[in-house]
Amino acid sequence: MTAADGERELLRRTVEELLARHCTPARVAAAAAGSGWDARLWQALEETGLTLAGSPEEVGGSGGDLSAAADIAVAAGAAAAPVPLAETLAAGMLLGRAGLAIPSGPLTVAVASGPGLRRVPYGRLATTVAAGSGRSGRSGGSGRDGDWLAVIEPAGRGRTGRVGTGRGGTGRNLAGEPRDEIIFGGDVEVHDVPAGTADYARRLLRLFRSLLIAGAAQRALDLTVTYVQEREQFGRPLARFPTVQQELARMAGEVALIGAATQAAVAADLPGAGEGVSAVVAAKAQASSGAGVVAAIAHQLHGAIGITEEHRLRLTTTRLWSWRDEDGSEAECFAELGRAALAAGAGAGAGAGGLWPWLSGSPAAGSAV
Amino acid sequence: MRDGTLLPPVRPLPAGAAELRSQVRGFLSAERTAGRFVPACDAWLSGWDESFSRGLAERGWVGMTIPREYGGHGRSALERYVVVEELLAAGAPVAAHWVSDRQVGPNLLRYGSEPLKRRYLPAIAQGACYFAIGLSEPDAGSDLAAVRTTGTRADGGWTVSGTKIWTSGAHRAHALIALLRTGPPDGRKRHVGLSQLLIELEQPGVTIRPIISMTGEHHFNEVVFDGVFVPDEQVVGAIGEGWAQVTSELAYERSGPERLLSTFVLLDTLVGELAARSGSGDMGAGAADAGAGAVGRVVSRLWACRQMSLAVAGALAAGEAPEIAAALVKDVGTRLESEIIEVARMLTATPGVEPDPEGSGMAGLLAQAVLHAPGFTLRGGTNEILRGIVARGLGLR
Domains of chain B, each with CATH number or no CATH: 3-129 (1.10.540.10), 134-242 (2.40.110.10), 255-393 (1.20.140.10)
- Statement to judge: residues A60 and A111 lie in one domain: no
Cα distances from A345 to residues A141, A154, B58, B164, in angstroms, run 43, 47, 31, 44
Give the Cα-Cα-Cα angle B22, B274, B89 (nearest 5 degrees). Answer: 30
CB contact under 8 A, A362 and B386: no
Over residues A256-275, the mean pLDDT reads: 80
Q: Outline where DSSP puts E strands in A93-247.
A: 107-111, 117-121, 127-133, 147-152, 162-163, 179-183, 190-192, 232-233, 236-237
Summarised one tens digit per residue, pLDDT across range A140-164 is 444 567 999 999 987 655 445 565 5
Burial group, residue B25, by CB count within 10 angstroms (0-12, 13-18, 19+): buried
CB contact under 8 A, B6 and A252: yes
pTM of the model: 0.94
How far is A281 from chain B, CA to nearest CA, in Å? 8
- What is the spatial distance between Cα A260 and Cα A284, in angstroms, rounded to a whole number? 12
Cα distances from A226 to residues A40, A53, A137, A259, B23, in angstroms, run 29, 32, 46, 20, 50
CB contact under 8 A, B89 and A333: no
Quickly count: other Cβ atoms within 10 Å of residue B34's Cβ. 8
Contact B46, B95 (CB under 8 A): yes
Contact A72, A79 (CB under 8 A): no
Summarised one tens digit per residue, pLDDT across range A285-324 is 999 999 999 999 999 999 999 999 999 999 999 999 999 9
- What is the spatial distance between Cα B371 and Cα B264, in angstroms, rounded to a whole number? 15
- Statement to judge: residues A172 and A203 lie in one domain: no
- Statement to judge: residues A60 and A131 lie in one domain: no
Which of these three, A43, A67, A98, is where a domain ends?
A: A98
Chain A contact for B7, CB < 8 A?
A: yes
Looking at residue A188, what is its pLDDT?
A: 81
- Statement to judge: residues A283 and A317 lie in one domain: yes
Looking at residue A119, what is its pLDDT?
A: 92
- Statement to judge: residues A157 and A169 lie in one domain: yes
Taking the alpha carbons of A120, A122, A125, A127 in that order, is the dihedral positive or negative? negative
Which of these three, A98, A131, A154, is where a domain ends?
A: A98
Q: What is the ipTM for the molecules in this complex?
A: 0.94
- What is the spatial distance between Cα B234 and Cα A210, in angstroms, rounded to a whole number? 52
CA dihedral A56, A60, A62, A64 (to 10 degrees): 0
- Whether A141 is covered by a domain: the verdict is yes
Chain A contact for B10, CB < 8 A?
A: yes
CB contact under 8 A, B6 and A255: yes
Looking at residue B258, what is its pLDDT?
A: 97
CB contact under 8 A, B390 and A249: yes
CB contact under 8 A, B303 and A248: no
- Whether A289 is covered by a domain: the verdict is yes
Per-residue pLDDT of chain B (397 residues; tens, 9 = 90+): 333 478 998 888 888 999 999 999 999 999 999 999 999 999 999 999 999 999 999 999 999 999 999 999 999 999 999 999 999 999 999 999 999 999 999 999 999 999 999 999 999 999 999 999 999 999 998 899 999 999 999 999 999 999 999 999 999 999 999 999 999 999 889 999 999 999 999 999 999 999 999 999 999 999 999 999 999 999 999 999 999 999 877 877 899 999 999 999 999 999 998 988 887 777 777 777 888 999 999 999 999 999 999 999 999 888 888 889 999 999 999 999 999 999 999 998 766 889 999 998 999 999 999 999 999 999 989 999 999 999 999 999 8
- Statement to judge: residues A189 and A93 lie in one domain: no
Q: DSSP assignment, residue B68?
A: G
CB contact under 8 A, B307 and A263: yes
Contact B167, B176 (CB under 8 A): yes
Cα distances from A150 to residues A104, A112, A156, A183, in angstroms, run 15, 10, 17, 12
Q: Which residue in B86, B271, B300 is closest to A355 by CB distance?
A: B271
- What is the spatial distance between Cα A340 and Cα B299, in angstroms, rounded to a whole number? 10
Element holding B176 (H helix, E strand): strand B175-181
Chain A contact for B395, CB < 8 A?
A: yes
Domain with A45 in it: what CATH number? Answer: 1.10.540.10
- Whether A358 is covered by a domain: the verdict is no
Element holding A16 (H helix, E strand): helix A3-22
Domain with A313 in it: what CATH number? Answer: 1.20.140.10
- Statement to judge: residues A225 and A340 lie in one domain: yes
What are the residues facing B152 on neighbouring strands? B159
Looking at residue B284, what is its pLDDT?
A: 76
Summarised one tens digit per residue, pLDDT across range B79-128 is 999 999 999 999 999 999 999 999 999 999 999 999 999 999 999 999 99
Amino acid letter, B202: E
pLDDT at A235 over 50: yes
- What is the spatial distance between Cα A347 and Cα B247, in angstroms, rounded to a whole number? 44
CA dihedral B386, B391, B394, B397 (to 10 degrees): -130
Summarised one tens digit per residue, pLDDT across range A80-133 is 999 999 999 999 999 999 999 999 999 999 999 776 788 999 999 999 999 999
- Statement to judge: residues A243 and A297 lie in one domain: yes
Looking at residue B152, what is its pLDDT?
A: 98
- Statement to judge: residues A280 and A340 lie in one domain: yes
- What is the spatial distance between Cα A147 and Cα A94, in angstroms, rounded to a whole number? 13
Confidence band of A136 (pLDDT split at 50, 70, 90): low
- Statement to judge: residues A148 and A163 lie in one domain: yes
- Statement to judge: residues A246 and A180 lie in one domain: no
- Whether A361 is covered by a domain: the verdict is no
Contact B116, B233 (CB under 8 A): yes
Summarised one tens digit per residue, pLDDT across range B133-161 is 999 999 998 899 999 999 999 999 999 99
pLDDT at A350 over 80: no
Which of these three, A173, A194, A215, is where a domain ends?
A: A194
Over residues A165-193, the mean pLDDT reads: 82
Considering its fold, how many domains does chain A have in total? 3
Q: Which of A106-110, A170-174, A179-183, A266-270 has the lowest mean pLDDT?
A: A266-270
Average pLDDT, chain A: 89
pLDDT at A209 over 80: yes
Looking at residue B95, what is its pLDDT?
A: 98
Over residues A15-26, the mean pLDDT reads: 98
Chain A contact for B273, CB < 8 A?
A: yes
Summarised one tens digit per residue, pLDDT across range B165-184 is 999 999 999 999 999 999 99
- Whether A360 is covered by a domain: the verdict is no
- What is the spatial distance between Cα A205 and Cα A130, in angstroms, rounded to a whole number? 12
- Whether A69 is covered by a domain: the verdict is yes
Looking at residue B1, what is its pLDDT?
A: 36
Residues of chain A positioned with their CB less than 8 A from the CB of B395? 225, 229, 239
Query: Domain range for residue A54?
Result: 1-98
Q: Which residue in B89, B268, B388 is closest to A245 by CB distance?
A: B388
- Whether A167 is covered by a domain: the verdict is yes
- Statement to judge: residues A46 and A62 lie in one domain: yes
Question: Do strands A147-152 and A117-121 pair parallel, antiparallel, or not at all (unpaired)?
Answer: unpaired
Nearest in space to B325 (alpha carbons), one of A287, A260, A279: A260
- Whether A359 is covered by a domain: the verdict is no
CB contact under 8 A, B390 and A365: no
Contact B381, B247 (CB under 8 A): no
Confidence band of A183 (pLDDT split at 50, 70, 90): confident
How far is B166 from chain A, CA to nearest CA, in Å? 25
Looking at residue A269, what is its pLDDT?
A: 61
